Homo-oligomer: A and B are copies of this chain.
């Protein structure tokens, strides 16, 4: 399978279309299996106690699946999240970036479905799991 957008193309897309938010993320990998997205954890992502906030984890898994879809169909700016279910499993480690491993389970004409495991960098046990559905505009 050929990718419509590789790692560099996804990074360019982020920088161009996501404005300031793009600074939070780095695309570590994009291949036939999916995408790895890094959240460069900073003060603004933390809750009191030093743990990464739920909304920051939500943003990470949402962008990760979005990029996994774009890597296959190209820069379709109008795909929108219709459903996102997150299980929060463990407290993220303080002072470590988060890595989201996203894979596409279905890429249909109208709907794309993927899931994501989120890890504190270097740790074996996931901190969160998410399943997301995107609605894809008619092409």
Which residues of A come within 8 Å of B, CB atoms?
Answer: 17-19, 48, 53-56, 58-59, 62, 80-90, 105-106, 110-111, 113, 115, 117, 125-126, 129, 131, 133, 135
Q: Is the CB of A113 within 8 A of B87?
A: yes
Q: Tell me how many chains of this kind the complex includes.
A: 4
Judged by DSSP, the binding face of A is: strand
Q: Is the CB of A81 within 8 A of B89?
A: no
Q: Cβ of A56: which chain B residues have Cβ within 8 Å of it?
A: 55
Partner of A87, one of B59, B82, B110, B126: B82
CB distance from A17 to the nearest CB of B (A): 7
Q: Cβ of A85: which chain B residues have Cβ within 8 Å of it?
A: 83-86, 131
